[in-house]
Every structure is written in structure tokens, then in C-alpha cells.
Amino acid sequence: MKDKMRRFKQLLQDSETKAILNTATNGILSLTGPDGTPYGVPLSFVYDGDNAIYFHSARNGYKMECIEADSRCSFCVVGQDMIVADEFTSYFRSVIAEGRINVV
């Protein structure tokens, strides 16, 4: 991440992060379009258990245009989201991965 988490006490341990990536079935892939506009798309994924996340995709389309224009990406997975109305809050656990996306 660019900076430390503001609420660092909520930072997950590596094992908790991997558990979410190993059990979740979908997330939001964020890319930048060829014209610089942000683009987020929900996708199913597979985590290799180490450091790679794989997505299935068609060989052409807007997502591929975005990847060709700028390989930087962010992927967000929510593992838990519990709304507690009486406390006016929600308790959630999520993972945000940043990196470069490559077509394989």
C-alpha cells in the first residue's frame, strides 16, 4: 500500500489475508481506461496461495483495452460484511491487492 493504514489495529495478518483470498469467490478489479477514466469490474478469481491472482477473461473488450493501456491495477475482495444497525456501523474484513496485471 502507498501509506500505512490509518486504522492499523484492523490490519490483517498474512494468514488471515490468505484465508480470505482462498475462500472468497469474487472481487472488484480496478483499472484505468485508455482515456484515463477509472474502471472497476466485478470478477471471479483464483488465488495461487502465494502471490498471484488469476482472472478469466475474453481476449478482447474494454477490460483488455484498459490492461493494454496501463498494467497497474488494484483488486479488492470483501471476506466479511456485517452491518450492526444498533451501533450505526459495519464490521468487515477485506483484502486490497495492488500490482501489475499481465495477460497469460
- pLDDT at position 98 is 93
- pLDDT at position 77 is 96
Each residue's pLDDT expressed in tens, for the chain with a length of 104 residues:
455 665 555 668 888 989 999 999 999 999 999 999 999 999 999 999 888 999 989 999 999 999 999 999 999 999 877 888 998 988 888 899 999 999 98
Altogether, the residues listed in the chain come to a count of: 104
- pLDDT at position 6 is 56
Dihedral angle over CA of 38, 39, 44, 50, nearest 10: -30
CATH of domain 8-100: 2.30.110.10
- CA–CA separation, 24 and 80 (whole Å): 9
pTM of the model: 0.84
- CA–CA separation, 101 and 83 (whole Å): 33
- pLDDT at position 13 is 82
The amino acid occupying position 89 is: T
- pLDDT at position 1 is 45
